[in-house]
Chain A
Amino acid sequence: MTNAWIVATIVAVVAGLVGFFVVLRGSAFAAHAVPNGSFAGAAGALLINVNVLIGLGAFSLAGALGIGWLGRRDRQDVATALALVLMLGLGALFVSLTAESEPAAYSLLFGELLGVANNQLLPTAGLAIACTTALGVLYRPLLLSSVLPDLSEARGVSPTAVELGFLVCVALATTMTVPVVGTTLIFSLMIGAPAAARAIVDRPGAALALSVAIALVTVWVAIAASYQLNLPVGFFVGVLSATSYAAGRGWSAWRRRGP
Chain B
Amino acid sequence: MIPLSSADAEATGVADEALVEVQADEQRDALVAALADALGDALVESHVEPGVDVWVRVVAESWVDAGRALRDRCGMAYFDFLSAIDWMPSPYGRDMDAQVDLPVDDGAADVATPAGGYETGLAGGQTRFQLLARLHDPVGHVGITVKADLAGDAPVVGSWTPVYPGADWHEREAWEMFGITFRDHPNQVHLYLPSHFEGNPLRKDYPLLARRVKPWPGIVDVELMPGQEEDDAGDDGSEGDES
Pairing of A with B: no
By a beta-carbon cutoff of 8 Å, the part of chain A in contact with chain B is none
- Which B residues contact A (CB, under 8 angstroms)? none
